[in-house]
Structure 1
């Protein structure tokens, strides 16, 4: 069981690192685009146009401005990022929980509630992955492209689907782990019954 858990944790961490890299790239794209848009606005201002019209026009012609399709890139990238971080939350029991009533219950009852939570997450993640797959398939068949960059929309769906499938696998795995913990009375993976305050 520990070998499987190490594999699932490694997969979840790899997905989180990939999500972090994409998120960092999206932050850079957003910042550069905002800066470019602000510079473009300044270059069109009356002050710059009257003081140095040729210089301002040369910079505008050079392409100073917002990154073309920045919203499209951020939209597709954020979908991947969200799903890329979910497997790590699943495997490490990192989701926020409110256990005001459950915390006062005996350990076996808490295990039942933890199992119910994991099972609901697993079902939701599998359904989300399935719906993303169907959406990707639909966009692939229709040949739909983004408005500005004209890249196939199914690419964004495929990227998000990668994270969603990893999250679904992690969710099903954790539901199985919590089921075994409930049946055996042993803690197989840390944080099985929440924190004790």
Structure 2
């Protein structure tokens, strides 16, 4: 059962990271097109920058950041201060790792809940971005996909840390 959960968490984190990467590549492409469009403005031939590129970039960056969080969690790549880790016994380090993962799962869940409430608030008021008039709730919804993945992966990582503390090694 654990191996199945491990594959699911790893696959979810990988898929979201790939989506996040694709979003970043899309931002780069749109930015380049917009910049090239600015070159043609003085020629007055009807080609110009992309309207609302800042709005699009802002939404896409938030989406990408949330999409990368599960990958960082599954790979244990979040910033850590491990100044005393070499001096602590292995069992204490594993206990601290479990506590960290439980705390991260709590933060992920709390943040996802608040992101959902923010999305519902933006949706109910019909707020849009200033230039492109994109409904703001859509950016929240796109970010919510990565945030939900972050919760799932964080819960798995807490399970993984608990197994390590119990002395059950991963055989994946």
Q: Same fold (TM over 0.5)?
A: yes
Equivalent residues, number: 171
Paired residues of 2:30 and 2:53 also in contact (CA < 8 A): yes
Pair 1:186-2:168 in alignment? yes
Q: Deviations over 1:131-179 (max 9, x none)?
A: 1000000011111122222221110000001100100111122112212
TM-score (norm 1): 0.81
Gaps of 5+ in 2: none
Partner of 1:17: 18
TM-score (norm 2): 0.92
Moved over 6 A (4+): none
Gaps of 5+ in 1: 44-55, 191-197
Pair 1:70-2:53 in alignment? yes
Q: How does 1:134-145 map to 2 (within 5 A)?
A: 134-145=117-128
Q: How does 1:71-150 map to 2 (within 5 A)?
A: 71-150=54-133
RMSD (CA atoms)? 1.6
Structure 1 residue 34 displacement after superposition: 2.5
Partner of 2:8: 7
- Secondary structure, in 3 states, of the residue corresponding to 2:143? helix
Paired residues of 2:51 and 2:132 also in contact (CA < 8 A): yes
Paired residues of 1:102 and 1:113 also in contact (CA < 8 A): no
Aligned partners of 2:38, 2:109: CA distance in 1, in Å?
40
Q: Which has the larger radius of gyration?
A: 1
Q: Evaluate the alpha carbon distance shift between residue 36 and residue 155 of structure 1 in structure 2; reply closer, same or farther with a 3 A threshold.
A: same
